[in-house]
Structure 1
């Protein structure tokens, strides 16, 4: 969801940019922000559990576009459920269920356009859907990591620790987390809006010139976030005015209570926990290969910090990060057959997300082409293909051309090591 209304108030320090301006840099991708758009075209099939790879094509076209412009993408996936978001997740699950019921009813009545809209609101991005994309990323030598919990914190951890140079997302929460450089709302052509946290004190709409990082954090939480709903009538501009005047959320809340605003006794505790979550959310460190906090936790804090995401054993956290196990059940993933059904593959091994396949590009319209290796081939059982001499000549010429292109790509695009 992000901080509603935050991005428009920061318009003066957000500038149009293109992906090619980031050439030579590494970008952490908020993958679920892509997936939520990608599944819209195949929502009905996914809601019914049917195989459809359109969402994979959507994501891979953007991956290949970034590579085309010299940007090295690192896709970051959401992991398990964060306790601080449990209320939000329950509401979203209920909404998806209700929309699926409406879709089925509209379909029964023959209103297919209304059903289609409801399917789009009902589709859920499950770990299995994400896993299918991860399989393709492995084939295409694209780096990725699955966060133990929220991808937002994982993205910022990678940026703060210089594993990547910037983050591509749609989510304003990353500003609250303190992400140094963000590329918002990148479209299929590579156009988007650039943001740098160092520019925030120069903002014009709301004056943040005398705001500390802590004050910006408290202002955003008070306006309403995924970890704490806002008080009635409190949005970004009003929370900005309160924090600017009183400097801390505790004093601002006391002022509101004195004005007759009813505040739940648990609200202040929830506010404190939201601050800790934005600061110390648990993430995966790809160098140490274990779970750590986004930033160091002060020794005086309560030892029970499971609301930041329960701590997981090193082997489990690493298996999640590599996309080997479901981050919600910790069960091993199974490989998909070409029909889309899950089939057991006890001999399958993961080579840290690395394979020898290279990405091909099309010169047409300067846009990358989707590799055809995932196209399913269907043959009639028992039939034998017949080849004429002309077919063999054509195949030989095609092979020689393809081999030449592969050699060029191998020289220009060295193999990428896995992030995890």
Structure 2
């Protein structure tokens, strides 16, 4: 999930209409997991076709992107490549949490507690290689570009922004800024009302924009020092120092200037400090210049309707949104429009 920096990095609200015509690099796995977690039945089961194949990821990808495409947004999806060896710890922790949530989901179902069952089911989401390949097949059919990064997708997005081929990165993870992306958009693909975890309460979630320049100004730290602060807190690549959160980490870096000095004061040592820094400051990426094409209606119909039983009428209506000109200012669509 990445590091939590929302309490110290300013974000400003952004209207979808302000993003018309912009080229947006979207964290592909982040997006698909959002759909797998949120698009479920009352008992927590994901949407499936008549053959039992999960379709939540395809439904979300197609219908939500169509609503945003109607606003004139252009998407390029980036998929993570091979995870770095140092990420094994956090991947193992995620796997263990899913195993635990699976057992709790089944127990809630047996007890007839559908509210708890749905909450626990959302924590069990798993993307198979076949599901990812089918999502990429759908992107091809829609004329939307995608690329697989050598490793971390956020780093690939940052490199593409530096090359001037995209205008912003779209992800929920603050790590995107640590990898050097100048501009991050959060909540873009899940705007609207969201249920609070474990509570029968809902909040309104709206798109927001964060910038690396804004983070540097607000914290009075350099990009390199922000990375040092994150290492003290703990990242996907290292466990961090117990008790160090955003505010304590920020205080230490402002006072002492570097992770080395902070670690010395705390009486801790990180043997691979320079390696951890380079994972954020010099992460591998590939050259990729996205190009956008027209949707191929026949391929979309075959994939969604013939293969998985989606409604032809709904698919046809959504397809038109990829083709129609953007709405005039003042007629902004919402994600509920799909």
State the match for 1:2 in structure 2: 2
Asked if the contact 2:46/2:56 (under 8 Å) is kept, the reply is no
Structure-1 separation of matches of 2:209 and 2:287: 26
8 Å contact from structure 1 (residues 45, 51) kept in 2: no
Change (3 A) 1:135 1:182: same
In 2: Cα distance, 1:16 partner to 1:152 partner: 21
Please give the per-residue CA displacement for 1:211-267, whole angstroms capped at 9, x wherever unaligned. Answer: 22211221122122111122121111111111111111111111122xxxxx3xxx4
What is aligned with 1:66?
68
Aligned-partner Cα distance in 2 for 1:355–1:69: 16
Alignment equivalent of 2:260, drawn from 237, 240, 250: 250
User: For 1:44-100, what per-residue CA distance to the aligned partner results, in whole angstroms no more than 9, with x for missing partners?
Assistant: 3589x9313232121223322332222211011223332121011111112212222
Structure 1 counterpart of 2:159: 157
- Which sections of structure 1, spanning at least 5 residues, go unmatched? 258-262, 288-321, 323-351, 360-369, 380-397, 414-420
What is aligned with 1:24? 21
Q: Aligned pair in 2 of structure 1 residues 371, 68: CA closer, same or farther (>3 Å)? A: farther
The answer to whether 1:197 aligns with 2:199 is no
Q: Which has the larger radius of gyration?
A: 1
CA separation of 1:250 and 1:376: change in aligned 2, threshold 3 A: same
Contact 2:77 2:146 in 1 (8 A): yes
- Per chain length, whose mean CA-contact separation is higher, i.e. which structure has more relative contact order (CA < 8 Å, sep 6+)? 2
Between the aligned partners of 2:308 and 2:232, the Cα distance in structure 1 is 57
**In the alignment, what sits opposite 1:98?**
100
Alignment pair present for 1:175 and 2:177: yes
Tell me what 1:357 maps to.
296
Check the 8 A contact 1:138/1:355 in 2, yes or no.
no
| Residues 272 and 56 of structure 1: CA distance in aligned 2, closer, same or farther (over 3 Å) | same
Q: Could you tell me which of 26, 35, 38 is aligned with 2:35? A: 38
Q: Is the 8 A contact 1:243 1:252 kept in 2?
A: yes
3-state SS of paired residue (2:161): helix
1:184/1:192 contact within 8 Å kept: yes
RMSD of equivalent CA atoms: 3.4
Distance 1:154 1:79 in 2: 10
What does residue 145 of structure 1 align with? Answer: 147
Post-superposition offset of 1:34: 2.0
Match of 1:125 in 2: 127
Aligned length: 298
SS of residue matched to 1:252: helix
Q: Distance in 2 between matches of 1:50 and 1:98?
A: 23
Structure 2 counterparts to residues 190-229 of structure 1, below 5 A: 191-203=206-218, 207-208=219-220, 211-229=221-239
Deviation at 1:355, TM superposition (A): 7.2
* Structure 2 counterpart of 1:236: 246
Q: Is the partner of 2:170 in helix, strand or coil?
A: strand
The answer to whether the 8 A contact 1:156-1:177 is kept is yes
